[in-house]
Amino acid sequence: MNSSELSEKFRQRTKLFTIRIIAFSKSLPKSPESQIILKQLIRSVASTAANYRAACRARSNTEFFSKLSIVVEEADESVFWLEIIHEANLVNEQEVLPLLREANEILAIVASSRKTMRNKLFPNQ
């Protein structure tokens, strides 16, 4: 599989994850606190997917690195909100743990890609 195919596959993965989070959102309690957390989660997950899509269209390696840095931040925030949902026992553990696992995998992939790109752009740092 070439890098273009891998990028497309990962774009689809982040998009699907956003859709999974939207479906998951229906299982959260309707309390004001839960709704605030949910809004933040959906925003960060959708931003992860949208910014990865933008990174794939970057015009330079520097722009790609910059966009990928945003993806890492948003993916990390998504992990944070899923941890809050889990640790506050807002839903059944069986519902949130697979999503938390996927969020951590996405974060690991983009963080590794950013590190590789940083080493390519700034080899002496």
For 69-82, how does the pLDDT look when each residue is reduced to its tens digit (9 = 90+)? Answer: 999 999 999 999 99
Q: What is the mean pLDDT of the chain?
A: 94
* Residue bearing the bigger pLDDT, 120 or 20: 20
Provide the pLDDT for residue 122.
Answer: 86
Quote the number of domains for the chain: 1
Provide the pLDDT for residue 3.
Answer: 74
Q: In one letter, which amino acid is 75?
A: A
Provide the pLDDT for residue 123.
Answer: 86
Q: What is the CATH number of the domain that holds 100?
A: 1.20.1440.60
Provide the pLDDT for residue 5.
Answer: 85
Q: CA distances (Å), 6 to each of 12, 22, 47, 109, 116, in order?
A: 10, 24, 20, 12, 15
Q: How far apart are the first and last CA of the chain?
A: 31
Provide the pLDDT for residue 4.
Answer: 79
For 21-64, how does the pLDDT look when each residue is reduced to its tens digit (9 = 90+)? Answer: 999 999 999 999 999 999 999 999 999 999 999 999 999 999 99
Give the domain range for residue 99: 3-23+31-121
pLDDT greater than 80 at residue 103: yes
Dmax (CA) for the chain in angstroms is 51
Provide the pLDDT for residue 72.
Answer: 98
CA 50 to CA 71: how far, in whole Å? 9
